[in-house]
Each structure stands twice: as C-alpha cells, then as structure tokens.
Chain A
Amino acid sequence: MTQTADPFSFLGHDGPVARLIKGFAWGNTPLGRVETWPQSLKTAAALLIHSPVPMVMLWGEDGVMIYNDAYSVFAGARHPALLGSNVRDGWPEVADFNDHVMKVGLAGGTLAYQDQELTLHRKGHPEQVWMNLDYSPVPDESGRPAGVIAIVVETTDRVLAERRNREEFQRLQSLFVQAPTFMAMVSGSDHRFTLVNPEYRKLIGGRDVMGLPAREALPEVGDQGFFDLLDHVFTSGEAVKRSSQRILLKWRDQGPLEERFLDFVYQPIRDEDGTVAHIFVQGSDVTERVRGENHQRLLINELNHRVKNTLAAVQSIVGQTLRHAATPREAASAITARIMALSGAHDVLTRERWDGADLRALVESAVHPFRNPGPDAFRLDGPEMRVGPYAAISIALALHELGTNAVKYGALSAPGGTVQVRWTVADRDFRLEWIETGGPPVIPSDRRGFGSRLILQVLPDQLQGRADMDHRPTGIAFTLTTSVEAVSDQPA
C-alpha cells in the first residue's frame, strides 16, 4: 500500500476550520466525498479558507456551507455544526432570506446589502445584528453557477454606535430646542449665527438671523459692547460671563427699543487644531428679576427716607415742645399727644399707600382723641376729597393743636361746647374751617408756641395760602384758605 496523498492538500491551509473540513464526512452531504469534488469547488474553497474576511460558500441547490476561520467566529455557537450543513437548515431563522440568495446566485445574479438587519440565534437567543453582505455566483467548469460565495461583515457595533450618536444628537437637539434658556452658536470672526434656539429667537423679537453676521443681524446692539465682547472671546479664547447685563433690543419696527436684562455666557468652542471656531452663547432673560430687585431697592430707599424724615419730625416735636413747656410732666404728655397725632396721620396715609389721604378720614383721625364719650361735640362737614401726603400730615398736626387748645381753653373745656370742622371746594379754592361755639370767651394770647406757629405760620407757608384766627365772643374760628393744587401737593 502506498501512502495516499492528502486529498485536501488543495486547501493549502491548516487553520482550525481547514482541519475540520479535512476531518468532515463529506460523503454524507450532497457534495459527496472530496475525491469527487469538481476543481471549481476546490479552488473556491481554497480561496475563501485563506481570506481574513468572513466568507462562506453555499454550494449546490442545497447551499452546503463551507466557510473560513473568520466566519466561524461570526457564526458563534452555530460553529462547528454549521460546517457542511445546508444553509436553510443551518440558519433556520433567516431561511427565507437565504432562499432568495440561493435563487438569485444560482441564476447568475449578485446581491449586495449594506447594514442589513437580521435576527440571528447564534448564542441560543435572538439577537439583532447588522451586516454588510455581498453574494456572487461561483461557476463550475462549464461556466454555470454552481454555488454562491458570500462575504459577510458584521457591522452591528458600528450601526449601534451610529444609532447611539444619532440619538445623542437628537437628545441634544431637543434639549437645545426645548431649553428654557436662550442658546445660539456664532461661527467665525464675524460671528455668523449657525444655531439659534426658539428662546434666543424670542429674545431678539422673532427675527430670523441664521447665517447672518451678528453685527448685521442685530444692528441696534452694535454700540452696546456685546459684539466687542464676542470679538474678545474669539481672539482670546477666554469664556466670559455677565450678570444682569442691560441690553436694548428692537422688538418692533417702530417705537422705542425694548430694555431687557440678561445673565449670559460666551463660551469659545475650539476646532481640532485648537483655534476658536465658534462661540456658544447661552443665558437667561432676567428682566423680571432685575426689575423686582430695583423695585425692592427703591422701596428700601423710600422706607429709609420715611424713617429718617419721621425721626426728624419726632426730633422737631420733642425739641419744640420742650422749648415751650412749663414742666417736664406737661412736656411729656404734649410730646406723646403730638407723636400720636403724627402717627394717626401716618396710619391714614399708609392705608392709601402714601399716595394721599381721604380728608374726612384724616380729620376723623385727628379729632378722635378729643371726642367725648357722651354727646359728640364734633360736626364734620365737607365733600369727599383727597389731600396729598405732605398736606395731610400738616393738616392733621394743625387739627391736633386746635383740638388741644379747645380742650384746654376753648369750646371743649366746658360742657355743651361744640366744634364744627368744615371744608369746601369752590372752583379751585380750598377752605378749611374750625369753628368753636359754646365755650368760654377766649382771649388772644401773644405767646407764640408750637401750635400757633404751626397753624398760623408754617401751615399757610407750606400750602401757599392764608391762615386766620378769629377770636369771636362765641369761640375761636380758624380758617385756612388755599388752592386745591396746594392741598393735593401739586406744584402751583
């Protein structure tokens, strides 16, 4: 017996799959024993077994499979049982697909698929895979297609990566579109708008600025320093951040520019070689916050002003009362009563947010301490009207001084005395009268105390009018005459 030559020597390969091919019982397949194989089959088998690219040959009508080492890796747990099996049996889950391949290939056609999605059961469970598949016929000795050779490159990793990238991009895009803050990208040294989100468009009054250089897109912003800042970021590569920055924007074709306040960041974006190519603009319109803060600052200033003024008013009451009081006890009670009168006027003003006071409410408040528990000595008579805050305080203090005097020496010092407080408006003239009746006769005093100074000198000065004190036998009558403008604190 001579040593028989290796019938698989035509493979010229000794890899793992080549060894399996050599040991395989081909006699049990439609291919038959290797000795019967046509040269075309052998050549094609040798060609694919050497290729580093995953390749499989489907030979004959049944598509008997011969493949290489790279394909065995792709086949997963299906290998090695897959070798020598019919393709429709070997990959039952994609039998229809392969049936079509076989028909086209054996008819002499070619097929090419890019990122073909298939569900394979390589590891005992369904698995989504993507492949680039190229099929071409293998002719036999007569030139007729006898098999189909397939180059099988799995692209699952790349497809999934691309899909992740795309999803990531869509997420970023929806973030960009739905962001509650304004965002834009400007590119190049002239800061052309290359991205603008809806909030940014809202900020600039709905203008379409895509593709335009910033200075051209928003001309009204030109001299407000923002573009110089963009220039700086572009050349220096340093990000800048600003808070509560005022900007004037054109929201309408006509009329004044819109004042807004912005918190924003200019973030330089560098290209591969490290130079600044774009600037990402991101920020918030904080106009409401800034206005609120300004309003609050104004209120605090105003409050501080009132507190200081009130302290000065109290200082004045104390200083002047002490100057004229006979005894510390008298001084103490007069100071308290005057501060209470001032406080009462403040209460009336506070109810109307210091815009002014209803005159009747003011008079009621001023005469309240002098009302008897019994029959009411006061008659208030006058139209409904408002007085300004400065006039209100002086009138309230004046009525307090008149009331104090009436209790001490006048109509309210005796039972049955009455006081009529009457105000009238005729044309633009305002008249306020305090008329006492039923009290003892009052002799005019030459003492110029706090009360008479306030009533007869300062009050008419302030209200740019006249004050008269008439000592009638029936009691005193005080008359203030001025203009409606003056009691409204309006400039004459």
Chain B
Amino acid sequence: MARILIVEDEALIAMMLEDIVTDLGHDPVGPMMRLQPALAAAEREDFDFAILDINLAGQQSFPVADCLIRRGIPFIFASGYGRAGLAGDYARIPILQKPYDPGQVAAMIASRAAGA
C-alpha cells in the first residue's frame, strides 16, 4: 500500500482517480485541483507516488513535476493531450491517457514505484 498524491483539475475525474487508487489498495492524498495547493502538497506532504494532470485549469503543472523530481518521488503524467509538448526531463515520464484504464494505472504505479 502506497500513499498516492492525486493532482487533477476536474472534479469528476479527480473523484474517479481517488476511487481507482483506493480500489487498487492505495491511500489517496488530495485530490489537489489547482497549481498552488498541488505545489504546496508536493513540497510538504508525505507520499510515495503521484499522478499529475499536466493542465491545471489552464496552468501547466510542470513546477509540481520539478518538485517531485527534486524530491525523487516517482510520478506519472495524466493528460488528454498525449505527449505533445513534453520535452527534456519530462520526456521520459510515462503518460496516463484519459479516459483511464485502472489496469494501466496499476501497472504504471507498480513499474514506476519499482524505480523503472
């Protein structure tokens, strides 16, 4: 069981991610739905993994990603856009595509948490 930070701007989708994560036997942290609270949580909260929506109400969540990279906490991006616009350090981060396949979420958490 891992503590998983959920950063997602849309209420319905955030609720679903919470359910998916809970169903997988993990403990959701959040959801954080705007950049500032997400950044504060990424800096302060204690968690093992994060699912990070790239677009937070029109703002990109890359500062949160940078914080997670700095803290060495594994994470995946979530997006409806696909890989477009992901470069540099972010290019190697897996992307979870919307709508979500819980099996894929489980596999991504497992492989990223194992340090892959």
Q: Which residues of A contact B (CB under 8 A)?
A: 301, 304-309, 311-317, 319-320, 323, 342, 388, 390, 393-394, 397, 450, 453-454, 458-459, 461-462, 464, 486, 489, 491-492
Interface-lining segment among B43-51, B66-74, B95-103, B108-116:
B95-103
Within the complex, the shortest CB–CB distance from A234 to chain B, in Å, comes to: 36
The B interface is mostly helix, strand or loop, or mixed, namely mixed
List 4 A-B pairs, minimum CB-CB distance, nearest first: A308-B80, A316-B16, A312-B98, A305-B80
B36 within 8 A of partner (CB): yes
In the complex, which residues of chain A have a beta carbon less than 8 angstroms from the beta carbon of B9? 390, 462
CA distance A458 to B13 in the complex (A): 10
Within the complex, the shortest CB–CB distance from A358 to chain B, in Å, comes to: 19
In the complex, which residues of chain A have a beta carbon less than 8 angstroms from the beta carbon of B30? 461
B37 within 8 A of partner (CB): yes
Q: Which residues of B contact A (CB under 8 A)?
A: 9-16, 19, 30-37, 55, 57-59, 79-82, 84, 97-100
Within the complex, the shortest CB–CB distance from A467 to chain B, in Å, comes to: 12
Q: Which of A312, A394, A491 contacts B80 (CB 8 A)?
A: A312
Known: A312-B99, A489-B57. A454 touches B80 (CB 8 A): no
In the complex, which residues of chain A have a beta carbon less than 8 angstroms from the beta carbon of B34? 462, 464, 486, 491-492
**Contact (Cβ within 8 A) B98 A308:** yes
CA distance A308 to B13 in the complex (A): 11
Extra A-B contacts (13), CB below 8 Å, given A390-B9, A458-B33, A489-B58 = A301-B81, A301-B84, A305-B55, A311-B98, A312-B98, A319-B16, A320-B15, A390-B10, A393-B12, A454-B15, A461-B31, A461-B32, A491-B57
In the complex, which residues of chain B have a beta carbon less than 8 angstroms from the beta carbon of A319? 16, 19
CA distance A319 to B99 in the complex (A): 12
CA distance A198 to B82 in the complex (A): 45
**Contact (Cβ within 8 A) A309 B80:** yes
**Contact (Cβ within 8 A) B13 A313:** yes
Within the complex, the shortest CB–CB distance from B28 to chain A, in Å, comes to: 12
Known: A308-B99, A489-B57. A320 touches B80 (CB 8 A): no
Within the complex, the shortest CB–CB distance from A165 to chain B, in Å, comes to: 57
Q: Which of B15, B36, B37, B59 contacts A316 (CB 8 A)?
A: B15
In the complex, which residues of chain B have a beta carbon less than 8 angstroms from the beta carbon of A491? 34-36, 57, 59
**Contact (Cβ within 8 A) A309 B13:** yes
**Contact (Cβ within 8 A) A464 B10:** no
The A interface is mostly helix, strand or loop, or mixed, namely helix
Within the complex, the shortest CB–CB distance from A491 to chain B, in Å, comes to: 6
Which single residue of chain A is at the shortest CB-CB distance from B102? A319
CA distance A492 to B32 in the complex (A): 14
Within the complex, the shortest CB–CB distance from B32 to chain A, in Å, comes to: 8
**Contact (Cβ within 8 A) B14 A462:** yes
In the complex, which residues of chain B have a beta carbon less than 8 angstroms from the beta carbon of A342? 12
**Contact (Cβ within 8 A) A462 B11:** yes
In the complex, which residues of chain A have a beta carbon less than 8 angstroms from the beta carbon of B37? 464
CA distance A289 to B12 in the complex (A): 39
Q: Which of A305, A307, A397, A489 contacts B12 (CB 8 A)?
A: A397
In the complex, which residues of chain A have a beta carbon less than 8 angstroms from the beta carbon of B12? 312-313, 316-317, 342, 393, 397, 454
12 residue pairs A–B, Cβ–Cβ below 8 Å: A305-B79, A308-B80, A312-B16, A315-B16, A316-B12, A319-B19, A388-B57, A390-B10, A453-B15, A461-B31, A462-B14, A491-B36
Q: Which of B15, B79, B99 contacts A458 (CB 8 A)?
A: B15
**Contact (Cβ within 8 A) A309 B31:** no
**Contact (Cβ within 8 A) B99 A320:** no
**Contact (Cβ within 8 A) B33 A320:** no
Within the complex, the shortest CB–CB distance from B39 to chain A, in Å, comes to: 11
In the complex, which residues of chain B have a beta carbon less than 8 angstroms from the beta carbon of A316? 12-13, 15-16
CA distance A314 to B100 in the complex (A): 11
In the complex, which residues of chain A have a beta carbon less than 8 angstroms from the beta carbon of B35? 491
CA distance A199 to B19 in the complex (A): 62
**Contact (Cβ within 8 A) B33 A393:** no
In the complex, which residues of chain B have a beta carbon less than 8 angstroms from the beta carbon of A305? 55, 79-81
CA distance A450 to B36 in the complex (A): 26
Within the complex, the shortest CB–CB distance from A1 to chain B, in Å, comes to: 120
Within the complex, the shortest CB–CB distance from B77 to chain A, in Å, comes to: 13
**Contact (Cβ within 8 A) A309 B98:** yes
In the complex, which residues of chain B have a beta carbon less than 8 angstroms from the beta carbon of A311? 98-99
CA distance A306 to B37 in the complex (A): 24
CA distance A379 to B37 in the complex (A): 35
**Contact (Cβ within 8 A) A315 B57:** no
